[in-house]
Each structure stands twice: as structure tokens, then as C-alpha cells.
Amino acid sequence: MADIAVLGHGVVGSGVLEVMLTHRESITRRAKEEIHVKHILDLREFPELSYAASFTKDFQVILQDPEVKIVVECMGGLEPAYTFVKQCLSNGKSVVTSNKELVAAKGAKLLALAQRNNLNFLFEASVGGGIPIIRPISQCLAANEVGEIAGILNGTTNFILTKMIREHMEFGEALALAQQLGYAERDPSADVEGADACRKICILASLAFGTHVYPEDVHTEGITRITLEDVAYADAWGGVIKLIGQVKMLESGKITIMVAPMFISRESQLANVDDVFNGILVRGDATGDVVFYGKGAGKLPTASAVVADVIDCVKHFKARKYLFWEDAKPGYVEPFGSVLDAFFVHIKGESSSDAVFAQAEEKFPGAARIIRKDEMPGEAGFSVSGITENDLQAALSELAASGISVLNRVKISDF
């Protein structure tokens, strides 16, 4: 029998218990021994639960229990999760976590600590909930150079954008609906400002390219500025707007990485990833594009990924897993503004749309006009490519100086 402990009995933690109890038999068969949740750390009490006796409020009970070889961290947030996980890994306990904030901020340190102590630190559930992605990237694609990863990594924003695209809801209305349905938190900023997607693309980038990328080094835009006009322009261009986390290896050995809303073509395999679903595209030199798709969050999908890691851990007590990456290195992330890119630009002037576009064309030779349904007088949209963010910014400032307001600009994807 393998004794484990679970830190935190919130949505994911209680889901882990639920999965462990409802699938006890098949889990035992797969792990080749019974897995027993000996302790659950939570400051609250749950007297009504069948396993109420397993609760403790004292982390030391878990840390000092030599029978507990695996600790499952489902507390979320950076502290005290980080301290607890460090102490577990320093005391002979492998750790499984669903905490993306922890992995994005401390992954390299915790992986190094796990390696030094010949323990496992696994986090399949931290990206994509129940979609297997960490293991496929690290293992199945081992004989393949990954060049790029792009994904719809946040279900809440994808739900909001889907409502804007399909039902022409305004952003605020779609957000309110998401909150009402329980898809968005009361404070939705981590979702709609892109921080959640940013943590996930950091983890994927670290894993795929072997060097830790910290969230603060990633250009991150949310979807709060996206309007129904942008959605209509995307449609006229031949695609949809999605919030994308993207990382690409450059020939220089540096990476470009960002989270931003993007125009993506209707032909793209991510274009039909709608509602609360996530989709992750991994572009390899040998495999071509491989896409993983499913529910990226939710109690049971996430819990089942956690439990799968636990099973893996039990089966490989004495074998270190393959997961590892180096800590960050200076200059590894190419500054966002200096990479050639493509953009959609939405402007408005006092004269006719044609005249406004003509003015823009002087600053952006080769700009391709996009005309949306119900375009307003003086309004114009166009795409421009082969330009850096910095140069775009400079040209848009000049346009603004000549009396043309820049209403929005949205990156155009290359996948």
C-alpha cells in the first residue's frame, strides 16, 4: 500500500479524493498497489465526509510521517504552497501538483531539488487540466525538435470570445454570463488579463525548450480591449479572434513568447476550439502539427490528471521521471517589440473610409484593406505584415499625430 497526503481540500483537492474513491479498483490495478490518502491538510473541517478522520490542520503531521512518500499539492497560490513543496522534496517525499502559478514561478528550482534528492516533481494537471500535454511533449516528442507551441490555454476567455463571435455579445455581457455560469471568478482579472494563460505558456516553453521562462518576461495582453468591431473585422479577414499563448524558437537560439489575442485563420486547427475548451498545437520538425484538445479546467478533469501523476509516481518510486529544465538565462527571451510580425489595425478619421485608409497606406506600404460589414464612415481596417511591434507603434503614433485615431490593433497568427 502507498500512503499519500493531499494538501488542500478545495475544488481540485476534493476532486482528487472523489476520483480516488470512485476509481479505487482500477487505480489499484494500474498502480499495482493500493493508494491510500492518509492525511488531508485543510484549515476547514468537513465532518460530513466519509474520510473526515483523515483531515489535519498541521502540515508537520504530514512532513514528519515517514510512511507518506507522495504529497499532492492542490492549495494553489505561491505561498505557503512553495514552502510546503520545498520541505516535502527536502524530506524524501515526491510531489504532484496542479498549481500552475507554483510551477511557472518556481519550476526550475523545484525540479532541481527533486533531482538532487532523486524524487519526482510532477505537474501534468497544471496545464490543460485533463488534456494530457506535459507527458506527450516531454516523452512522445523526444525524437522531434519542437519549434513552436501555440495554444488556447484559458477556458474562461475562450468562452467569452466564443460568445462575442457567435452571438455578438459585448465583452462585458459575455463576462457576466461566464461569471453567472461559474466559468469566471468574481475577480476575473487573472483570466481576462492573460495571467493564467501566461503561466501555462511559461510551463510549456520551459518544458519544450529546456530553459525556464518566468511570467514577468512574457509580453501579456488580455482580451479586455477586444470589441465586436474587431470580431467583425476578423470575420471579414477570414478568421476568428482567440487568446493565444505562443512560444517560438528562433534561429538565434532565443525564443519569442507572448500571450495576446490574435486573428487566427478559419483554416487553423485552433479556430474551432470553442467555448471553455482548450487546444494546444505543438509544431515539431518530424511530427508536423500535433494538436491536443479538451476541457482545460474543471474539478474532475484536473483531478484525474493529478491522480494519473500519483499512479505514475507509485509505479516509479525508484525511477526519476524525465522532467527537467534549467533555470532562466539572461537574454534568452527576445524582446517582444523587435520580432517581425503581422497585425490587424483598426483606425478612424474625419474623412471617408477610403481617404482614411489611403493615409494609413502611406505609413504602411503593402497594407491590405479589410472591409467589415456595417463599417462606419471614417472607419478603416487593414492588415500589415513583416513589421516589428516597435515600428508599428512608431508608425501608429505618426498616424495619430495626423488626426487619425487608432482604435485597436491585434496580432495576426502564423498558424
State which of residues 3, 30, 236, 361 lies at the interface with a second copy (CB under 8 A). Answer: 30
Number of neighbours of residue 102 by Cβ within 10 angstroms? 25
Q: Answer yes or no: are the C-beta atoms of 156 and 237 closer than 8 Å.
A: no
Q: Reduced to 3 states, what is the DSSP secondary structure of residue 289?
A: strand
Q: Grid coordinates in use for 38?
A: 492518509
Least CB distance to a second copy at residue 92 (A) = 20
Task: Take residue 264 and report the three cell numbers written for it.
Answer: 487566427
Q: Which is nearer to a second copy, 225 or 266 (CB)?
A: 266
Binding status of residue 289 toward a second copy by CB under 8 A: yes
Cell representation of residue 205: 516553453
Residue closer to a second copy (CB basis): 23 or 348? 23
Least distance from a second copy to the Cβ atom of residue 207, Å: 12
Q: Is 200 a catalytic residue?
A: yes
Candidate residues 11, 112, 228, 300; the one interacting with a second copy per rule CB under 8 A: 300
Asked if 23 interacts with a second copy (CB under 8 A), we say yes
Shortest Cβ 210–a second copy spacing (Å): 9
Identify which of 365, 351, 347 has the alpha carbon closest to the alpha carbon of residue 408.
Answer: 347
Among 165, 156, 136, 173, which residue's Cα sits nearest to residue 322?
136
Q: Choose the binding region for a second copy from 199-207, 293-301, 328-336, 368-376 (rule: CB under 8 A).
A: 293-301
141 binds a second copy (CB under 8 A): yes
Residue 108 touches a second copy, criterion: CB under 8 A: no
Residues 6+ apart with CB under 8 A from 22: none
Nearer to a second copy, 314 or 367 (CB): 314
Q: Which stretch binds a second copy (CB under 8 A): 60-68, 69-77, 297-305, 342-350?
A: 297-305
Confirm or reject binding of residue 43 to a second copy (CB under 8 A): no
For a second copy, the closer CB: 23 or 254: 23
Selected catalytic residue, list 93, 100, 106, 200: 200
Nearer to a second copy, 116 or 316 (CB): 316
One DSSP character per residue, 215-268 reads: GGGSEE--STT--HHHHHHHHHHTEEEEEEEEEEE-TTS-EEEEEEEEEEETTS
* 117 or 144: CB nearest a second copy: 144
Shortest distance, CB of residue 117 to a second copy, whole angstroms? 18
Q: What cell does 343 get?
A: 497585425
Which C-beta is closer to a second copy: that of 129 or that of 194?
A: 129
| Residue 36 interacting with a second copy (CB under 8 A) | no
Closest to a second copy by CB, 272 or 393: 272
**Whole-angstrom Cα distance, residue 8 to residue 47?**
16
| Contact residue for a second copy among 80, 132, 147, 335 (CB under 8 A) | 132
Answer for the pair 380, 360: CB distance below 8 angstroms, yes or no: yes
Q: Is 19 in the site for a second copy (CB under 8 A)?
A: yes
Give me the residues paired with residue 96 across strands. 72, 122
> Judged by CB under 8 A, does residue 326 bind a second copy?
no
208 touches a second copy (CB under 8 A): no
Q: What is the smallest separation between the CB atom of 26 and a second copy, expressed in angstroms? A: 7
301 binds a second copy (CB under 8 A): yes
# residues near a second copy by CB under 8 A: 51
Largest interatomic CA distance in the chain: 77
Q: How many CB atoms lie within 10 A of CB 254?
A: 15
User: Is residue 269 part of the contact set for a second copy (CB under 8 A)?
Assistant: yes
- Which of 144, 265, 351, 388 is close enough to bind a second copy by CB under 8 A? 144
Question: Residues of 20-48 as b/e, b for ≥16 C-beta within 10 angstroms?
Answer: beeeeeebbeebeeebebbbbbbeeeeee
**Structure-block grid coordinates of residue 386:** 513583416
Which of 346, 331, 334 has the alpha carbon at shortest distance from 388? 334
Q: Which residues are bridge partners to 163 per DSSP? A: none
Q: Which of 199, 200, 81, 70 is nearest to 134 (CA)?
A: 200
The set of catalytic residues is 200
- Where along the sequence are the contacts to a second copy (CB under 8 A)? 19-20, 23, 26-27, 30-31, 124, 129-132, 135-136, 139-145, 269, 272, 284-295, 298, 300-301, 303-308, 310-312, 315-316, 319, 322
